[in-house]
Amino acid sequence: MHATPFVGLRAPLLAREDPALLIRSRQRLGPARMLVMNRLANALFALVLAATPSLAWSQNARGSLDVRWNAGAADCAASPQAPLQVHAYEPNTIILRQSPCSEFEAGFLYLLIGSDRALLIDTGAVADPSRMPLAKTVADLLPNVGDAKLPLLVVHTHGHGDHDAGDSQFAAWPGVKIAPGESAPLRTFFGLSNWPDGIAHLDLGGRVVDVIPAPGHHPNHLAFYDGNTGLLFSGDFLLPGRLMVDDLAAYRASARRLVDFVRTRPVAHILGGHIELDVDGQLYAWGSTHHSNERPLAMQRADLLALPAALDGFNGFHSRHASFVLTHPIHNLVAMAVSVVVALLLMAWGLRVLLRRRRARANGRA
């Protein structure tokens, strides 16, 4: 069960239910009217429950995605640009974007600030602080607590190098805890003993973030859901671009679990690790440092709801969908290797036939 579902909805409702007021009003009513009133109250409550996602959504901390992300450049040397772009979705939710010129995958990192500690989701692709001043940028964004900075917990959506290479920048920073990357210590760290079915909860102080296992792209992939904003951080599991399948069965199961998860929760936006599609649905070439006309970062509930069926119908190699492209790098690599071997065999066979004919012709002339 979710520890604090619909935080935004229930708090105001409960605040209005003053017990003294309820007892006083009941004393004035007879049993028959009480029954009618109870039925009316039950019907009203059912209506409120049915409308919960939209009501709760309206009470999430609203933010803005009105931002133009750095598009990089075809010739980065001729167009020097800041390595890290900072956008405040709202004052306590910061989106950091690596420039395509610093790192062609141009990953997004997310900083969530609570009253007791902050949470950094992913540390990006660049370890060298002179090329990507991540730790310094995050330190500047964190509020002070006395003479120190607010404690920081660093976590990762998954262990690919473009999501955890910046960890080393935080190693010597006091007040920082970094989640481990290996399976067993990671699960112990979050208390996810029932992997992948359990859900962990991180309390940042007035802000609870759910940690949801989502293997499929990577065996230790996690998604994070912030109850205060209704943002779901999906890493490389769901993003506007290539969804690289590593384990199809695990991906399918994770997609179903996440769909179940959002069924009872408001989702303002789903924010992934990268943007790899332009507004016309074309993929950027792998390695391109120029992301012209990027599709928006945010995906919506409908994109997640479409994922289980897309995975069920996946041909195992490559398939395009409205807001993402499913691809299986290992299968594609094997298919390419098989094609190359078949092409080489055909060429060898053709050469042999050719040589035999020539030899036969030469023998005929002799």
User: In the complex, what is the shortest distance from the CB of residue 167 to Zn ion, in angstroms, rounded to a whole number?
Assistant: 15
| Contacts (CB under 5 A) with Zn ion, residues 271-310 | 273
The contacts of residue 342 (CB under 8 Å, 6+ apart) are: none
Q: What string of H, E and C letters represents the secondary structure of 173-196? A: CCCEEECCCCHHHHHHHHCCCCCC
Supply 247's token pair. Answer: 């384990």
Q: Determine, following the binding rule CB under 5 A, whether residue 72 of this chain makes contact with Zn ion.
A: no
Residue 242 in the binding site for Zn ion (CB under 5 A): no
Pick the stretch among 251-259, 268-276, 318-326, 353-361 that binds Zn ion (CB under 5 A). Answer: 268-276
Binding mask 138-167 for Zn ion (x = CB under 5 A): ----------------------x-x-----
- Whose Cβ is closer to Zn ion: residue 143's or residue 329's? 329
236 binds Zn ion (CB under 5 A): yes
CB-wise, 236 or 303, nearer to Zn ion?
A: 236
Specify the residue, 125 or 176, whose C-beta has the smaller distance to Zn ion: 125
Q: In this structure, is the dihedral angle defined by the CA atoms of residues 119, 237, 6 and 93, taken in order, positive or negative? A: positive
DSSP secondary-structure letter at 246?
S
Work out the number of other CB atoms within 10 angstroms of the CB of residue 189: 18
What's the closest the beta carbon of residue 125 comes to Zn ion, in angstroms? 8
Encoding tokens for residue 223? 């998604």
Cα angle value 307/162/270 (rounded, 5°): 35
Q: How far is the CB of 124 from Zn ion (least distance, A)?
A: 10
Tokens found for residue 349: 């066979």
| In the complex, minimum distance from the CB of residue 236 to Zn ion, in angstroms, rounded to a whole number | 4
Stretch that binds Zn ion, among 144-152, 183-191, 265-273, 332-340 (CB under 5 A): 265-273
The first and second tokens of residue 47, run together, are 């209506």
149 vs 156, beta carbon nearer Zn ion: 156
